[in-house]
Chain A
Amino acid sequence: MLLHDTALVYGRYLRQSLRSRFGLLFGVLMPLLYLVFFGPLLTGLPLGGRGSSWQLLVPGLLLQLALFGASFAGFSVIVENGQGVIERMRVTPVSRLALLLGRVLRDATLFVFQAVLLVLAAVVMGLRAPLPGVLVGFAFVAVLTVALASLSYALAMKVRTPQEFGPTINALTMPSMLLSGLMLPMTLGPAWLDVLSRLMPLRHLVDAVRDAYTGAYATAHMLYGSLVAVAFAALAVTVGTRVFRTAGA
């Protein structure tokens, strides 16, 4: 039943995404701007990585895409709460976990699709990276999306108004982006910043994807990155499910 219900909820929200071509592409816009207008600034700089500057930047932009896209996913739940759609579904026998999973899997699909577009654009700009590494990158985008979207939906069920939701998400995403070294590797900075950034889960994900983009898969970064990503997603889905189960208070 969980599978049936998840597929059903997934289908509903995927169709919703497909109806809006704007929504389908909107998420790629910001990373694409960084790619085109910021990426070329890095090509001649000594960044300390093993590959080209594109192999450093593109993994960061992929996770940025997931970070901003998935963190704001909860907005749709605020709208649906206002319309009564969520309560209408919650009086049916549908699995509460499916109400969450169907949505976050839709988000994962959407952002992986956008990530593919971004990588294609990056190839045009000059990115060269091994295919398995690129696929690993998409997997990280998917897992990060599942984690952040779950938390975003959970928050949206709690706060109920866009006025509370938007600023909260903004206050969390901006420092996350800066502190995890999505744009430039943190190893370039002073030691205190590097240490601080290791406390951010996202830092470990971006390190792992950067390794993958240079074809290095059996590294400590990859191990930590995978563990952090999976643990974060498991925790987030647990929190999300709990909120969806008991929602209404």
Chain B
Amino acid sequence: MTARRYQDPDVIRKVLHEARTIAVVGLSPNELRASNFVGFYLRRHGYHVIPVNPRADEVLGERSYPRLADIPEPVDIVNVFRAPDAVPEIAQEAFEIGAKMLWLQFGVISPEGAEIAERGGLNVVMDRCLKVEHARWLGRMHWLGFNTHRVTSRRASAV
């Protein structure tokens, strides 16, 4: 169900390198929520993070928009922290604003939403955390003893 086809390491690494702007749908202003941890982390690592949350004016010092359609600039990744049943509509909007990828966080599993996004030509990642994947491939997840699943003898580049 959490289809491996939506967790392709090659797709994940490519988007981590190429993306600049990430709209985080459901980004909470509460510093203890997972979405806030992820948004904070991505901003620290140089991504332009745009909050999408109708119940907040500003999150992490950035203006928050009620809907994806309200964002006045191009978006590379739409990163979703919402219940699965909200995903099909978000996927449709992600397609309409010309996003390149729909990224559904841990536990946000929506085959229907994934299909809508794919039909619109978006890449899809499902049931994966954007922060963890960044830390696995480019960051420092290995410093905390987590299993990055990586095996390579190539010298790392500085982070």
Check if A and B associate: no
B binding-site residues for A, Cβ under 8 Å:
none
